[in-house]
C-alpha cells in the first residue's frame, strides 16, 4: 500500500523500540499524561452527569416544573378556565391543579416544618416519580375527604410513623382569629404512604390530596393554588415559562418555574462540573506540551539525519510535516488509550470501588454515571488539538536546519 514518506518516517520512529535517552523518556511521559488526563476527564464528567441526572429525576420529578398562579390573590379560580386562551408549547406533556401551603407536622413530641403539596392523583402523569419513589402505599391512597398524607422516610423514622399512624398537620394559611389569638389551621391526618426519593424532598415536602389541602387552607370553593405543567424535560422550563408569559396578562397571572426554588442547587452542580473539567483539562494541556520538550530534543539529536533527508530531496515543508506527524502520533495514541480506558473504568467504577473497599454513600447505592457522546468526543479532540499545537514549534525548528552547515560539522 502506498504510504507518504512523511507518515512512514513518523510511524517508524514512533513505533521504534530502540529509542533511548531522555527524549524518549519525555515522549512516553507525555503520552502517559495525555492518556491519564483524557481518562480522568471522561470518568469525572460521566459521573457528574450521573449526579445531575439523579438530582433531576429525584428533585424535579416531584416538584412543579412550571406553575401558573394568580397575581391578585393566594388562590386561582378554575372557572372560567385560566388555560382557555393559552396555547401550550409542545414540550408540555400535561397539566393539573395544585395547592401548596407551608405547614408543620406535629407528632410524638416532634415538629417537622414541611411544604404541604396538594396533588390530584387522577390528573398526575402515569409515570409519576412519586409513585416510583413509594416504599409503602401509593399515590392512589390519597382520596378526597379522607385526609391522607404521604411523608418521606426520614420524617417517618424521626417521628415514629407508619402507614395508618395519625399525625396533626398545621397549615400557615387558613388561620382563625380566636379570643386566645390567631390559631393556625390544623387537622389530624392519616399516614397512607411513605416515599423516599433520595433527596432533600424526603424531609421537606409532604403530599396530600389537593381538595383536602384546599379545605384546610380555607380556599374558596372551586379555587386551587395554581396550575402546574409537566414538561418532557425540566431543563426546558425557562423557555416554556417565557412562552406562557407572552400569552397571559401579567396583572392577573404569574408564571413561575422550578429554578426560582432549586436553581441554586443545580447551578452549584454545573459550576462544580465546569471547574473539574477545567482543572483536568490543564492536566491534559501540561502532558501535551511535554511533547514540545521531547520533540525539541529529538530535533537536536537528529540534526544530522534531518540534513541527510534534505540532501535526498526532502524539502523543509516535508520535514515540517514529518515532525508534526511524529508529535501527533504520540498525542493521538495517548488520547485513544485514554478514551478507551475512561469508558472502561466508568462502566466498572462501582465494582472497582467495592474491590478496593471505598464506600461513596453511607447507604447501599451505586455511583451513577451517564455517557455524553458529545462531551467524550470534545475531550478526545481537545487532546488532539493540544497535541497538534505542541508540535508546531519543534517542527518549525526542524525545518530550519541547514544541511550544509550541519553535515560540515558532523
Is the per-residue pLDDT at 28 higher than 90?
A: no
Confidence at residue 406, expressed as pLDDT on a 0 to 100 scale: 60
The three-state secondary structure class of 46 is helix
Higher-pLDDT residue of 80, 212 = 212
Higher-pLDDT residue of 170, 26 = 170
Percentage of the residues of the chain whose pLDDT score is greater than 90:
14
Contact yes or no for 240/89 (Cβ under 8 A): yes
The 3-class secondary structure across 308-329, one letter per residue, is: HHHHCCCCHHHHHHHHHHHHHH
Confidence at residue 341, expressed as pLDDT on a 0 to 100 scale: 94
| Residues counted in the chain | 410
| Interatomic CA distance for residues 288 and 291, integer angstroms | 6
Is the per-residue pLDDT at 191 higher than 90?
A: yes
Confidence at residue 410, expressed as pLDDT on a 0 to 100 scale: 52
Percentage of the residues of the chain whose pLDDT score is greater than 70:
83
Detail the DSSP E strand segments found in 120-216. 134-136, 148-152, 166-178, 181-195, 205-209
Bridge partners (DSSP) listed for residue 182: 177
Bridge partners (DSSP) listed for residue 224: 76
Residue 1's pLDDT band (boundaries 50, 70, 90)? very low
Bridge partners (DSSP) listed for residue 255: 68
Q: What is the pTM of this model?
A: 0.72
Q: Cβ contacts of residue 357 below 8 Å, gap of 6+?
A: none
Q: Which ranges in 228-315 belong to alpha helices (H)?
A: 237-245, 259-301, 303-311
Residue 189's pLDDT band (boundaries 50, 70, 90)? very high
Over residues 90-131, the pLDDT tens digits come to: 888 888 888 988 899 988 778 889 999 998 888 877 666 778
Residue 366's pLDDT band (boundaries 50, 70, 90)? confident
Confidence at residue 140, expressed as pLDDT on a 0 to 100 scale: 86
Over residues 380-408, the pLDDT tens digits come to: 998 888 888 888 877 787 766 666 666 66
Is the per-residue pLDDT at 339 higher than 90?
A: yes
Q: What is the mean pLDDT of residues 374-381?
A: 91
Confidence at residue 177, expressed as pLDDT on a 0 to 100 scale: 60
Confidence at residue 401, expressed as pLDDT on a 0 to 100 scale: 66
Whole-number average pLDDT of the chain: 81
| Interatomic CA distance for residues 71 and 64, integer angstroms | 18
Q: What is the mean pLDDT of residues 143-172?
A: 90
Is the per-residue pLDDT at 311 higher than 50?
A: yes
Is the per-residue pLDDT at 32 higher than 50?
A: yes
| Interatomic CA distance for residues 212 and 118, integer angstroms | 8
Residue 148's pLDDT band (boundaries 50, 70, 90)? very high
Amino acid at each position: 500500500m502506498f504510504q507518504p514518506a512523511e507518515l512512514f518516517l513518523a510511524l517508524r520512529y514512533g513505533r521504534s523500540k530502540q529509542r533511548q535517552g531522555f527524549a524518549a523518556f519525555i515522549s512516553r511521559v507525555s503520552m502517559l499524561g495525555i492518556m491519564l488526563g483524557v481518562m480522568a476527564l471522561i470518568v469525572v464528567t460521566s459521573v457528574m452527569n450521573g449526579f445531575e441526572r439523579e438530582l433531576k429525576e429525584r428533585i424535579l420529578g416531584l416538584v412543579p416544573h412550571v406553575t401558573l398562579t394568580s397575581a391578585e390573590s393566594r388562590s386561582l379560580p378554575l372557572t372560567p378556565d385560566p388555560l382557555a386562551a393559552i396555547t401550550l408549547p409542545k414540550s408540555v406533556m400535561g397539566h393539573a391543579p395544585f395547592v401548596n401551603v407551608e405547614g408543620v407536622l406535629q407528632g410524638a413530641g416532634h415538629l417537622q416544618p414541611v411544604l404541604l403539596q396538594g396533588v390530584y392523583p387522577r390528573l398526575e402523569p402515569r409515570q409519576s416519580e412519586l409513585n416510583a419513589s413509594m416504599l409503602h402505599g401509593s399515590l392512589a391512597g390519597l382520596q378526597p375527604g379522607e385526609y391522607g398524607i404521604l411523608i418521606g422516610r426520614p420524617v417517618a423514622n424521626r417521628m415514629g410513623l407508619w402507614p395508618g399512624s395519625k399525625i396533626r398537620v398545621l397549615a400557615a394559611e387558613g388561620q382563625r382569629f380566636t379570643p386566645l389569638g390567631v390559631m393556625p389551621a390544623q387537622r389530624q391526618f392519616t399516614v397512607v404512604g411513605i416515599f423516599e426519593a433520595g433527596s432533600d424532598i424526603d424531609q421537606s415536602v409532604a403530599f396530600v390530596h389537593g381538595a383536602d389541602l384546599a379545605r384546610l387552607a380555607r380556599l374558596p370553593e372551586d379555587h386551587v393554588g395554581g396550575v402546574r405543567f409537566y414538561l418532557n424535560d425540566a431543563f426546558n422550563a425557562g423557555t416554556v415559562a417565557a412562552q406562557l408569559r407572552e400569552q397571559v396578562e401579567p396583572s392577573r397571572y404569574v408564571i413561575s418555574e422550578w429554578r426560582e426554588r432549586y436553581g441554586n442547587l443545580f447551578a452549584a452542580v454545573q459550576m462544580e462540573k465546569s471547574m473539574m473539567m477545567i482543572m483536568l483539562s490543564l492536566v491534559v494541556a501540561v502532558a501535551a506540551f511535554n511533547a514540545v520538550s521531547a520533540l525539541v530534543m529529538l530535533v537536536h539529536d537528529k540534526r544530522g539525519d534531518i540534513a541527510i533527508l534534505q540532501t535526498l530531496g526532502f524539502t523543509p515543508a516535508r520535514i515540517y510535516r514529518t515532525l508534526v506527524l511524529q508529535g501527533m502520533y504520540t498525542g493521538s495514541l495517548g488520547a485513544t488509550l485514554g478514551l478507551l480506558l475512561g469508558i472502561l473504568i466508568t462502566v466498572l467504577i462501582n465494582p472497582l470501588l467495592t474491590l478496593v473497599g471505598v464506600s461513596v454513600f453511607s447507604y447501599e447505592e451505586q455511583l451513577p454515571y451517564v455517557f455524553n457522546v458529545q462531551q467524550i468526543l470534545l475531550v478526545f479532540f481537545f487532546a488532539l488539538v493540544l497535541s497538534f499545537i505542541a508540535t508546531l514549534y519543534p517542527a518549525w525548528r526542524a525545518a530550519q536546519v541547514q544541511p550544509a552547515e550541519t553535515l560540515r560539522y558532523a
